[in-house]
Structure 1
Amino acid sequence: MSLLSERHRYFVLIPLFAAFIWFSTLLAMLLTWLISGRPKYVSTQVAVAYISDVGACFLKPLFVVTCCLTGPGLVISLIIERLLRHKGRLPPEFHTYERIFGELAIAGALIAMFGLAFLSGFDTGRYPTEHLVFLLVFMVGVSLSSIFTVIEFRWLADDYPEVEKLKRAYIAKAVIGLSLVVLAIMFGVSLFNAQNIGGVVEWLIAFGFTFYLLTFAYDLRMAKVGEGEDNLLR
């Protein structure tokens, strides 16, 4: 078996690790706020604390490290998926437009990665305007990446023999991606009209992003093949 086949299981760990560290940090931040008696932070003074409020306090180092690991985890997962398609271990691309949308999905993930890293550094307590800008950059990047990924998967499904397995993958991405886009729009509106609702929506978006990361673990898991299949796919 090729080196790629032997180590495919380690590729799955990348989105799993990103999802785990992201979810764990969010849970730790949420529990910290609840156990502390649901305090109102100076940055917003709303009943439901925003993630950025909790991330601007003593938990900021944890928040920054998590954001700087989660973003690259998403990008690397997409790049590995692209390489596995090239090697024939995932549904290959038969058309140029499939490759273009795949590359656009990676570009969207890169935008999200930088937005996530910078929003964690420019906390809402000292840099409210910059934080909001990079938060929007992150949400736009994730939205674009999910849209382009779903479009690519839709076309791949037309040519791939195991269409049912692939269909589950892009349906999951479509549902989660569309939900995140809708929630992002709601979040943008609530920032100016209903800030308490905005806090709830932000937490929903953040936890929902965990499931989006996990869909890539499913994709990469499909790269597992037997030794006989490996010889055919080299």
Structure 2
Amino acid sequence: MWGISYWAVPIFSSLVWLAMLIAMLTTWSVQGSPHYPSMDPNQRIAYISDVGAQGLKPLFIAMSAVTVVSLDLAFVLERWLRHKGKLTPNTSFWQKFYSVCSIIASIAGAAGLILLSIFDTLRHPHLHDGFLVLFIGGYIISAIFICWEYQRLGIHFREHSILRYSFWIKLTFILVELALAIAFGVTQNQKKYNAAAVLEWTISFIFFFYVLSFFIDFMPAVRSKHHQSRETEMDMAEQGGMPMGDGAANDGQYFRGNTNGHANGTNGYANANGHTNGHANGYTNGNGYTNGNGYTNGFSNGASGPGHIPKPADSAPLPSRNF
């Protein structure tokens, strides 16, 4: 059950973000692309913040918070899985340091998004712009540290191609989002608000794919969980097929855990009360094989172990020497 929830966290987070964007864009379009009070007089395309500052503000706040909180939970969960060895473990202090830095930066980015949704662009334009920078910058810095960690992990675990794929996906996100963020800032300063609005929507949709990409990172943990569960089921079936005991019915009776049985059987042969005393008493004391301390005692001791060795047939009696 927990194996499924590993990758469900980033998928859930990305779908919430996508649903919010679609709901806001659809609402603005269905309303006839209105010109909101927060928009510039020459602006025809609304920013996400313009739509969020109107009637959809509760939706904007709630879904933004759910998205970034669940995404940051994915960062923390990934760190925990690496610590537990369910994902490829960190091999140095610096890898752990990069991971912790990415979590801290993502928390800063999450705070930026939640605060910019609360302090909307209509009533708090300067605070809103500052928190927007914190949001975009926080997650770009977080992605940089993640790439740094994955690059070092990929050197030590070259056999895990998934680390390479994840590294390139996140590096692509960094380069594209950084370029778009710079272009957004330039067009905003040049008062090209329509172009800036298009860039903002583009940045937001690319962020959806970035969040979604984290489910790839959890796939090894899911496969590991399934593999361990399968092995456990096979062991239980193997042991449950017949009662486990010390007798010959045990699986692998002569090779697994039954050394004592054969050792005891061997002791039955090697016991001084066995063949040695039996023959000695038989020939020396004149009691022959009627002496109970002969073969009988020897094989009785051997049979005491879990690996019971059957008593061999008695030898033919020797001719009597009493006449």
Q: Does 1:227 align with 2:231?
A: no
Distance of 1:187 and 1:219 partners within structure 2? 30
SS at match of 1:189: helix
Match of 2:138 among 119, 136, 141: 141
Which runs of structure 2 are paired with 1:75-224 in the superposition (5 Å)?
75-193=72-190, 194-224=192-222
Structure 1 residues 230 and 134, CA, compared in 2 at 3 Å: closer, same or farther?
A: farther
Q: Does 1:8 align with 2:3?
A: yes
- Alpha carbons 2:72, 2:103 under 8 Å: kept: yes
Structure 1 residues 229 and 166, CA, compared in 2 at 3 Å: closer, same or farther?
A: farther
Distance of 1:222 and 1:171 partners within structure 2? 18
SS at match of 1:223: helix
Unaligned runs of 5+ in 1: 1-5
Distance of 2:158 and 2:175 partners within structure 1? 26
Q: Which residue of 2 aligns with 1:3?
A: none
Unaligned runs of 5+ in 2: 233-323
Q: TM-score, normalised by structure 2?
A: 0.68
Structure 1 residues 29 and 230, CA, compared in 2 at 3 Å: closer, same or farther?
A: farther
Q: Which residue of 1 aligns with 2:66?
A: 69
- Alpha carbons 2:112, 2:131 under 8 Å: kept: yes
Q: Does 1:28 align with 2:23?
A: yes
Distance of 1:60 and 1:124 partners within structure 2? 11
Distance of 2:157 and 2:112 partners within structure 1? 34
Deviation at 1:164, TM superposition (A): 1.6
Per chain length, whose mean CA-contact separation is higher, i.e. which structure has more relative contact order (CA < 8 Å, sep 6+)?
Answer: 1
SS at match of 1:48: coil
Displaced runs of 4 or more, over 4 A: 228-231
Match of 1:44 among 13, 20, 39: 39
Matched residue type, 1:28 = A
Deviation at 1:216, TM superposition (A): 1.0
Matched residue type, 1:38 = S
Deviation at 1:138, TM superposition (A): 0.3
Deviation at 1:43, TM superposition (A): 0.8
Bigger fraction of residues in helix: 1
Matched residue type, 1:92 = P
Superposed CA RMSD: 1.5
Matched residue type, 1:13 = A
- Alpha carbons 1:67, 1:116 under 8 Å: kept: yes
Structure 1 residues 13 and 108, CA, compared in 2 at 3 Å: closer, same or farther?
A: same
Q: Percent identity?
A: 35
- Alpha carbons 2:116, 2:131 under 8 Å: kept: yes
Deviation at 1:163, TM superposition (A): 3.0
- CA deviations 1:48-77 (Å, max 9, x no partner) are 110000000101100000111111112110
Match of 2:57 among 55, 60, 63: 60
Matched residue type, 1:9 = I
Deviation at 1:180, TM superposition (A): 1.2
Deviation at 1:91, TM superposition (A): 1.3
SS at match of 2:146: helix
- Work out the number of aligned pairs and report it: 226
